[in-house]
A and B are shown apart, each in its own frame.
Chain A
């Protein structure tokens, strides 16, 4: 079974702190994604990566950055956390195969609260 592991299930941070959210997948998938999920707004894409050291902005990249130094690991960084970044953060991975594009495997999520 594909396993996508997010480092923390719950996280509480202070406004202005630099926050790192880590995600590791064990299936050698090329693509990795970071989404945030808020009530009424659904899943919104922050960043994605289709290869090591490659990154593409999603729909809401402002206030975030990412790092992918190894294929299995994709980190989301909140440079200076703000209260409007309180949310559920979901990491996902997917393989690059013709008929499997878009088949995402999600981690269990990190509920981040910024106080």
Chain B
């Protein structure tokens, strides 16, 4: 079983719709969770971090964490073509620990 799992997609949504990306993790010791965005041919960049149960909003992005279900999600409201990228979920236990990534979900926003 992989430590961090995601649906590989591709996920296609029309422009203006809500894109929903999901992630599950196997290690209950994981404390910190992250969403990275990676454009084709580029390096990943951090877009959201979440540490406690519930929702965290930043602009059009909302991260959701449910530690009991070992589930993390990312919602992108009012999706734009510029949101088309691969989204990587990541988890770590502490600041001194390894950071493990899921395989990524490819998102395509159709104009």
Residue numbers of A with Cβ under 8 A of B are 31, 33, 35, 40-45, 48, 50, 56, 58-59, 90, 94-109
Interface residues of B, count at CB 8 A:
27
Question: Which of A31, A33, A105 is the one whose CB lies under 8 Å from B96?
Answer: A31
> Is B103 in contact with A101, judged by CB distance below 8 angstroms?
no
Q: Decide yes or no: A108 and B43 within 8 Å by CB, A42-B88, A42-B103, A103-B49 being known contacts.
A: yes
Contact bitstring B79-93, A, C-beta under 8 A = 1, else 0: 000000000101110
Complex Cα spacing A43 to B95, Å: 19
> Is A90 in contact with B43, judged by CB distance below 8 angstroms?
yes
* Minimum CB–CB distance for A90 against chain B, Å: 6
Q: Decide yes or no: A45 and B43 within 8 Å by CB, A40-B103, A102-B32 being known contacts.
A: no
Complex Cα spacing A48 to B49, Å: 21
Interfacial chain B residues near A96, Cβ < 8 Å: 95-96
Question: Can you name 23 A-B residue pairings with CB atoms under 8 Å?
Answer: A42-B88, A43-B88, A43-B101, A45-B100, A45-B101, A48-B99, A59-B100, A94-B95, A94-B99, A95-B95, A96-B96, A97-B95, A101-B32, A101-B97, A102-B33, A102-B34, A102-B49, A102-B91, A104-B46, A104-B99, A106-B45, A108-B42, A109-B43
* Minimum CB–CB distance for A29 against chain B, Å: 11
